[in-house]
Chain A
Amino acid sequence: MKSAGATAADLPESHRRHESFMAYSHFFYLKIALLVVAASVVIYTIDRPYGSGYGGTWAGYTLGTAGALLILWLTWFGYHKRSYANISTRLAAQLSAHVYLGLALLVVATLHTGLHLGWNVHTLAYVLMCAVIASGVSGVFCYARYPRLMTENRAGMTMQQMLGRIDSLDDELRQAALPLDEATAMVVERSTETNAIGGSAWRQLAGHLPGCTTAAAIAYLDAKGMVVAPEIEEAWRRVRVLLEEKGLLLIRVRRDISYKAMMDAWLYLHVPIAMMLLVALFAHIFSVFFLW
């Protein structure tokens, strides 16, 4: 679908074809991140304190300040990306910077610690930071993997379309099951009360419903399919066909919901832990100067 007036030739190269945020602008932000890592390693190496390296040497203070500023900037991205209209640069550019500098932060902070870890607020800040970065990495994997799976699963349909089709199938089923016997009709009727799409967080992530009424109806009809009275054979077949199509659609819908949930789930670690990290970081810096 092309927008009226603009042709493909008007758009910049990166708009015309899909460019992953990881490869944005020829891996520009990867190079920046590698520079940051290299600078940190150099700073860490040239400092040779009397004891062993830790956060309180001059290199430790430098890396710690850089790390803290990085954390603040990375957290600000989460806030800034919500104001879509006001963003002058592309969101993909900022996301690319966010991911790569977040990975560089791991090196900066680890060198800052000098690997002096213990059961204290300082290591808490470090561990929370690692958890945020790890959940971010899992998020990158999610964004790399799930969109394609979702597209393949949807096969050109939209969620709206699928749900609408299920709705109309429910209507058809109610009509088609009219000539059937009581027991079968009840089973079919139960399957048309389809409100078991989505649900709790766990149900959404799981992607399938063990007690799905449609699947139960299919199983019931298959089990009873041998001994069907000839006068209702026609209706029986029709109902079976409808249930089949609805079952396939439900599988697609639930799988789609599960993929979407997986793409959102990692954020439930990434964001709250980032908030906890901000508090822990403040406590860490405050305590260092409080007990100087």
Chain B
Amino acid sequence: MEVQVTVLSRRGSAIMRRTRTVSSHRVCFGRGTGNEIPLSDIRVDLTAAALFPVGGGIRIESLGPSPVRVNGTNATAAAVKPGDEILIGPYQIRLSEPPPGIDATLTIELVQPLSDSLRLTSSSRIGLERAISKRRIAWIGALLVMVIFFAAPILIYASKTVPAWRKAGSDFNPTTLIALLWKPGELSNSHRFFAANCKTCHATPFLRVTDDACLACHEKIGAHTASGANLGVMQQVLDARRCTDCHLEHRGTRGLIVSDMRLCLDCHRTLAEAASAADVSNVTGFPKGHPQFRATVVADAAKPSFQRVDVADKAAAIDRPGIKFSHAAHLVSGGFPALGIKQMGCADCHVAEPSGQGFQPITYKQQCARCHALDFDRQDLPWPNARVPHGDDAGVAAAVWNFYAGKVLQGGISEPPAPEVSQRVPGPPTRAIAETPGADPQAWVASKTEAVLQTVVFDEKRGCGYCHFGTGPQGAFEIAKAITSGAGQPRVPTARIVAPVILQSRFLPFAWFDHSKHVAVGCEECHAAAKAEAVGALLIPPIETCVGCHGGERAALRAQSTCTSCHGFHRDFLGPMRKAATAAP
């Protein structure tokens, strides 16, 4: 297609024309330089329109986003002929009659010069930065955070505006709310009442919490080991530990006391080697790795002395409380019909203490007196109800001696001799006791007293010897020695006749067993009492009994148990662990 193009420009009344011919089968108009007819104005599309021959005529087609205007009408494509006016952007293109050899003649004129089109740009508020400023928002936000979360808590810490923890009024007010902003985690339940007062524990800025802060309230907290125990190097380890090494505050309402087994095992895993003189076993875990229970039994009630014995060692696990007691003998099936007792049970003697954790101590008066009454069939004794007082062996001996001393003043006693025709055991004839005191009343009283005490009062079948041992060798009752040991009037022996008794309530003093938590378990399931025939048999069950129900920290099918389930670190009966003045920093 041959197109003749005339570009027309006016200046005032002068008109300038530049004409050239473009040969192309398709003549494109547009801002871009690749177009056959470039229209250099910003308001023209890059490739605005194309002119091409179709059939015998010429068509114009809009190629850009803006429509072209043909004879006043917006069109995307239209047929054009000489005389038509096309508007592309600010350019007007008029077609005129082409000379021969030319397909189209165009006259192009810029009818809307770009004079002050910047007016619109400058009056428009485009861009968010013209509307709001990032910097201002950033400053305001940063200052807010600085004041509320940094400056205010420091001021409150330094001042005394938070009331001392014993005088705290309402829970939440602006002061406490700001004071709580620096709290990194919830406080343990017992400490929540002073949560807003950081200074209670954090006494000095930038220093860790000292032991003194804890000891201010917990000054009597018990030690872990007996003072004087030989722990070797572990003693320094123990002394160097700070309260906060093990007690982790700000870990939630129940986070203060750590139940993780590893805290204990870190020392106890190798304690037998590290503190070899302390007689401890290594513990490497629970239930696997926990040594057999060792009960504290009475070795000798007279001294007194105790020892720890392995409960599974039948030969060693014997308690020597100083009385002859057999559980099996008391739990016989059928009971004691003569006394009107059908069948004895554990609860007949073992009375739970109010908390249910353990049992009240066994005493003669509460438990034994009901059946083992100390009745005496003589009415002329100084005790009411013809009952010998229990536990006063010296007093009983003195009473018998006084009885015979009184008889001396009455001129003696008469005892009927043995009948003539009784069947007697072969042996020397029984020595008849003299009826009257005779020449030596003191010797008579002494011998009468000794005989009675020997054969009646402290007898093995009829008297104290039924349950008790004497102070002599092999448990013999040294009555003669006792009688001569008295001084003054009346003659009360000062040497004990009956050996001391120690009935322990706790056989595992370093552990804590709560019977009330195990109330659903029958006594016999753990304590084999009915079969305990030997005197002093230890009924504390071995660890195998416990691990049937108790598993490790993360047991799935057993009760989850950890060290602190049964053991405590601080034992108040060992005295205080730390003195505030010498606490480690």
Contacts and interface: CB of A to CB of B under 8 A. Distances in A.
Interface of A: 48, 50-52, 54-56, 116, 118-122, 124, 155-161, 163-168, 170-172, 194-195, 197-201, 204, 234, 237-238, 241, 244-245, 249, 252, 257, 260-261, 264-265, 267-268, 271-276, 278-280, 282-283, 286-292
A276 B142 contact: yes
Contact of B128 (A261, A283, A290): A261
Interface string B185-223: 110000000000010001001111100000000000000
A268 B132 contact: yes
B181 A120 contact: yes
Contacts of B89: 165
Contact of A161 (B42, B69, B248, B263): B42
A119 to B, nearest CB: 7
Interface residues on B, range: 35 or more
A271 B138 contact: yes
Contacts of B42: 158, 160-161, 164
B7 interface: no
B65 A156 contact: yes
Given A201-B131, A244-B74, A272-B134, A118 B185 contact: yes
Contacts of A245: 66-67, 74
10 contacts: A120-B180, A121-B150, A124-B149, A155-B65, A165-B66, A198-B130, A241-B73, A271-B134, A274-B138, A287-B153
A50 B262 contact: yes
A121 B127 contact: no
B206 A289 contact: yes
Contacts of A278: 142
Interface of B: 42-43, 45-47, 64-67, 69, 72-74, 89-90, 112, 114, 116-117, 119-121, 123-132, 134, 137-142, 144-146, 149-150, 153-154, 157, 180-186, 198, 202, 205-209, 246, 248, 251, 255, 258, 260, 262-263
Nearest to A281: B145
B246 to A, nearest CB: 8
Closest 3 CB pairs of A and B: A164-B117, A201-B131, A155-B65
B136 to A, nearest CB: 9
Nearest to B146: A279
A103 B549 CA distance: 48
Nearest to A199: B125
A265 B134 CA distance: 10
A272 B137 contact: yes
Given A121-B150, A204-B125, A291-B182, 15 more contacts: A51-B258, A54-B184, A55-B184, A116-B251, A120-B180, A124-B145, A124-B149, A163-B120, A165-B43, A199-B131, A241-B73, A244-B74, A272-B134, A272-B141, A276-B138
Given A165-B89, A198-B124, A238-B72, A120 B184 contact: yes
